[in-house]
Chain A
C-alpha cells in the first residue's frame, strides 16, 4: 500500500526521476562498460593462449632468477601505482587538489618504471633470439621432448602479443593520467575516479598476465641452466 501512497505524490512512482539509478554518471558508466568490453578482448587472447598451450609442447624458459624476480619487481611497480592512485582518488574526495596531482604523478612514475623494466626485459628476450615466430635455438634443443617433439614457436607470439597489448594499455594510461594531472583543477572528483578505474583495470589485467604468462613459464627443472 505504501507504493500507492507514494504514487499520489509522484504520479510516476517507482523511480520518480531525479536521481540516476545506481547513482553513476554517464562517463563513469561509460568507463565501466569500456572496461567490460576491453576485458573481453584480453580474455579472448588469454583463452587463446591457454588453448594453444594445452595443445602443444610448450617451452617453459623463465628461471626464477633473474626472470621471475625481475617481473615480480615490475608487478610490484604496478601494484604500487594502484596504491598511489587510490591515495590520489581519496585526496580528490577531500578536495585536496595538490595532493591529487602529487599522487597521480607518483602513479605515472610507477607506471613508467613498469614500462621501462618491461622494455628491458623484451630487449633481453629479443637479444636471446626470441621472435614472434621462432624460439632461440638453445631453447628448442632444451625443450624438445624425448620422442622428438619440438616446442611450439608460439611462445614468442603469445608473449609479445599479450604483453604488448597490455604495455600499450599502460602507456595509454600514463598519457591519460598525465592529462588528468595537468587539468586537475578543471576536473571533477568523478573524472579522477574514472581515470582511477582505468588504471586499476590495467593493473588487474596484469594480475592475470603475470601468473599465466610468467609464473606458468618457470623453468622448474632448471633445464636451461644446465
Chain B
C-alpha cells in the first residue's frame, strides 16, 4: 500500500544544468527562494514609492531634479504633480498587496517549508509550481510596465488605488490622466496574478492533503502548515471572483460594455453619448465592482496575514521552549478567521449607500472575527506566560507581530462599527489601521520567518547583532509612523490627497506629518541593514547545524540546506505532535516529531493523538 502512496510522487533526479537548477527549476525550495527574491525586489519598489509620497506630503512643491528626469510627465521640472502622487498611491498599494504580502508569505516560505514540514519530497505538481512563479513574474513585469506606460503627454501610471474603483477605472482615457494604457496593464497584471495564485493554491491544498508522510496526521501538523493550507483555500475561493470582475472591467474599457458604468455620466466636460470620444454608457453599477472586488479583497487581507500567524505560533513556541498553548483552538481559530473572512466584505462599503440592515449584519459579522483573533492572541500570551524565553531576533519579530496584530486589530473594532466607520472612512485612521495589521504585522511575521529559517536554507545564521538593531529600529519606527496617523485620521485628514496646504484646519498637523516622514525614511534605511545582513550572512554568517534552534518539526531533521529531495530518499515517520517542548521525563527539553514513543508514554495512557496540553 505504501508503494501506491508514492506512486504519483515525482521522483525527479537533481538537475545538473544551471538553467534547470536555478532558473526553470521544479524544486519547491528553489521556487520558494525565487518567490522571496521577487518579493524582495517588489518591496524595494513599493518602499521607494512610499518614501516619495511622504516627501511630497511633508515638503510639497519641492524640486527633486531626479524625479523630473525619470518622470517628465509626472514631475515636470522635478515638482511632483497630484496625478503622479495618486499614481504612486495606486502602485504602492498594488505592488505591496499582491507582489509582496501575497508572494513572500505563501509562495515564498510556504513553498519552501510546507513540503518539508509534512515530510514530502516536493509539491504535488512541480511543473504547475514552476509555472505559478513564472506567471506571477510576468504579472510583476506587466505592472512595472504600467508605471511607465504613457499614451499621451500628460499620462502617468494608472490611477485608481489598489481597489481600482469604477466608474473611474472603467471609463478609459476620457476619465483623465492615468486612465489610458496604464490602467489596462494594471487590470491585465492583476488577472495574470490571479491565474498564478490559482496554480499555487491548487498545489498547496493537494500537497497538504495527499502527500503527508507516515504518521503526519492533520492534528500533528505544525501551525504553519495549517496557516498555509487555510491561506491556499482562501486564495482558491477569492481570486477567481476578482478574475471575473477583472474580465468585466477590461471589457468595459476595451469592448464598450457598461457593466460598472452608470448612465448619464458627465466626465471631463462631456456628457456620456454626446461625443464620439465618450460613447454612450448606461445601466451599469459601480457598486457591483465594489462587491466583486471586496469579496476578493477581504479574504486577501487574511491571505496576507495568516502565514504570519502560523510562523509566529511556530517561533513563539520554539523560543519559549513551551508547547503552543491550545493547539486545537489555534487550528480552529485559523479556520474561523478564514471562514468569517468571506462574509464581511460589506464593511468596506458602509458608505456606498447600502441598507443599514445589511450594514448592521456585516458589522456584527466583522466584530465576531474579534473572537478567533482574541483566541489566537491569548494563546500566544499563554505560550509566553512563565516561559524562559530565548530572545533571538526571530523571537523578537514574532513578539513584535503579536504586538502589532493587537495594536492594529483593536482599531478594526472601531472601523467595523458602521456609526464609527462613517466619519472615519477614507481618512488616515483607515490607512493606519490596515498598515499596522495587514501590512507591517505580516511583514514582521516574514522577518521572524526569515531570521528563523535562514540557517535551514543557507546553513548559516543571520547576524544576530545586525538583526537586533534592525528589529528595534523597525519596531519603534512603525509605531512612530502609524500611531500619529490614527490621530491625523481622527482630526479628519483624508487619505490619498497629495497635499494639505489648502486645508487650514489640518495645518496644525503639519509637524506630525513631517515627523512621520522623517521616521519613515529612517525606518526604510534600516531595511537596507536587513538586506545587507541577508547577503552578508549567506557568505559570512556563523555556520549552523541541522537543528540550530533545538526545534522539533521535520525541517530540522534534514541537513542545512536540505538535499534536492528534502530527506535524501528516506521519508521520515512522525510519532507525535509538533510542539513537544519541556516534556517531563524527556532527556532534552524538546522531543522531535520523529522520536518514537517511549514505553512509558505508550503505557501511560497519556493520549496519543498528537499534542499534549
Contact = CB atoms under 8 A, between A and B. Distances in A.
Given A26-B8, A34-B202, A41 B244 contact: yes
Contact of A11 (B202, B209, B215, B279): B215
Contacts of B596: 11
Interface in A33-72: 33-34, 36-38, 40-45, 48, 51-52, 55-56
A29 interface: yes
Interface residues of A, number: 50
Interface in B237-285: 237, 239-241, 243-245, 247-248, 251, 255-259, 279-285
Given A11-B597, A29-B206, A152-B283, A157 B257 contact: yes
Contact of B210 (A16, A26, A36): A26
B326 to A, nearest CB: 20
A18 B1 CA distance: 5
Given A13-B608, A44-B292, A132-B255, A154 B214 contact: no
B590 to A, nearest CB: 19
Interface string B213-252: 1111100000000000000000011011101110110010
Contact of A20 (B5, B125, B216, B295): B5
A17 interface: yes
Contacts of B608: 3-4, 7, 13
Contact of A40 (B128, B202, B240, B251): B240
B436 interface: no
A36 B238 CA distance: 11
A133 B258 contact: yes
Contacts of B247: 45, 161, 165
Contacts of A161: 247-248, 251, 257
Nearest to B281: A133
Contact of A153 (B201, B244, B283, B295): B283
B4 interface: yes
Given A17-B213, A48-B248, A12 B574 contact: yes
A40 B241 contact: yes
A38 B240 contact: yes
B240 A44 contact: yes
B291 interface: yes
B395 interface: no
Contacts of A30: 124-125, 128, 202-203, 206
Nearest to A150: B282
Interface residue range, chain B: 35 or more
Contacts of B522: none
B11 to A, nearest CB: 14
Contacts of B279: 133
Contacts of B8: 25-27
A40 B237 contact: yes
A150 B283 CA distance: 10
Contact of A24 (B5, B203, B210, B245): B210
Nearest to B235: A37
A18 B320 CA distance: 35
Interface in A111-141: 131-133
Interface string B560-583: 000000000000011100000000
A19 B248 CA distance: 43
Contacts of B210: 20-21, 24-26, 29
A12 B248 contact: no
Nearest to B597: A11
A17 B2 contact: yes
B554 interface: no
B205 interface: yes
A19 B257 contact: no
A79 to B, nearest CB: 26
A147 interface: no
Contacts of B124: 26, 29-30
Interface in B101-133: 124-125, 128
B287 to A, nearest CB: 9
A19 B292 contact: no
Given A133-B258, A133-B279, 8 more contacts: A15-B214, A17-B215, A18-B5, A30-B124, A40-B240, A44-B295, A48-B288, A132-B257
28 contacts: A7-B608, A15-B215, A16-B215, A17-B5, A17-B573, A24-B209, A26-B124, A27-B8, A34-B202, A36-B237, A38-B240, A40-B237, A40-B244, A41-B240, A44-B241, A44-B244, A45-B247, A51-B285, A52-B259, A56-B283, A133-B256, A152-B282, A154-B283, A154-B284, A157-B255, A157-B259, A158-B259, A161-B251
**10 A-B pairs closest in CB distance:** A12-B215, A17-B214, A44-B244, A152-B283, A157-B257, A133-B256, A18-B1, A41-B240, A40-B240, A26-B124
Interface of A: 3-4, 7-8, 11-22, 24-27, 29-30, 33-34, 36-38, 40-45, 48, 51-52, 55-56, 131-133, 150, 152-154, 156-158, 161, 165
